[in-house]
Amino acid sequence: VASPGPLDPRQGIVLEAPNLSGWRDVPLAPRLSEALGTRVFLGNDANCAALGEFTYGAGREVRYLVYVTISTGIGGGVIDGGRLLEGATGAAGEVGHMTIDLAGPRCNCGNVGCWEALASGTGITAQARAALARGEPSSLAGHEHVSADLVTAAAHAGDPLARAIIDRAARATGFGLVNLAHLYDPELIVLGGGVLQAGDLILGPARQIFDTYAMPNYRRTCRITTAALGDDVGLYGAGALVHLRLADDSLSA
Ligand SMILES: [Zn+2]
């Protein structure tokens, strides 16, 4: 099962997922296991997506990969030498909560200026609503339901406020990618998620930032590409996770 986190993959418990209302310390894997009469493994959805792209998608030819999804939030997973980087508690890879801007907006996680607060769908929407509440002029003014899609469409149409917000998201994404290259030295960074439907408004400036600020070695060796598996990436990854856990079992047996 690929689930939003934070979670404890070893015990199979979803701890307190902000995007699953009312879920707190839910023993999801044990309960499913009991109901289905079979073994059940639990993984963070973004980590599973990284495994999916690595095993079946855009990363099949590489051993070192970082996957980033830019959608409602920003999540990620790191494949290091063909292994999923899990961390001490199984919670490694929260790439969206690296601080990009010390003076940036408050993030849902409590931190400030996170990549997620600047460039996720939630972050783009929140910045637009705050600017409109301050009375900044925009074609978005008066819209009842301002969404990231709406901001993106207004940016494409040349609205200055929407352009500024999307440009900030694009720059934040560029610096996020620079940080990931410096931290993990991947051969490939795979980008997925709905926000990328903004296309070149996000990817163009992000690539430009990467080509300017990543250290030369990483610029030469790290490629950036878009995801290959689409909406089912978590399912593919959950399948890959089963193979990984069974292989771990046979090693420790
Ligand atoms: Zn955050």
- pLDDT of 108: 86
Q: What are the residues facing 112 on neighbouring strands?
A: 106
Distance, CA of 46 to CA of 3 (rounded, Å): 8
pLDDT tens profile 23-76: 899 999 999 999 999 999 999 999 999 999 999 999 999 999 999 999 989 999
pLDDT mean over 127-149: 94
One-letter identity of residue 142: G
**What does DSSP assign to residue 188?**
E
In angstroms, what is the span from residue 99 Cα to ligand 1's centroid? 7
In angstroms, what is the span from residue 129 Cα to ligand 1's centroid? 19
> Is 45 known to be catalytic?
yes
Percent of the chain having pLDDT more than 70?
A: 99
DSSP H helical segments within 57-103, as ranges? none
Distance, CA of 227 to CA of 236 (rounded, Å): 13
Q: Is the sign of the CA dihedral 27, 3, 112, 150 positive or negative?
A: negative
Distance, CA of 141 to CA of 157 (rounded, Å): 15
Distance, CA of 220 to CA of 7 (rounded, Å): 36
pLDDT tens profile 181-222: 999 999 999 999 887 777 789 999 999 999 999 999 999 999
DSSP H helical segments within the chain, as ranges? 28-36, 45-56, 115-119, 121-133, 148-156, 160-184, 200-213, 216-221, 233-252
In angstroms, what is the span from residue 128 Cα to ligand 1's centroid? 18
- pLDDT of 215: 97
- pLDDT of 4: 86
- pLDDT of 253: 65
- Give the residue among 7, 145, 152 at the shortest CA–CA distance from 71: 152
In angstroms, what is the span from residue 36 Cα to ligand 1's centroid? 36
* Active-site choice (45, 80, 211, 248): 45
Q: How does the average pLDDT of the chain come out, rounded?
A: 93
Neighbours of ion ligand 1 (CB under 5 A): 97, 107, 109, 111, 114
In angstroms, what is the span from residue 17 Cα to ligand 1's centroid? 14
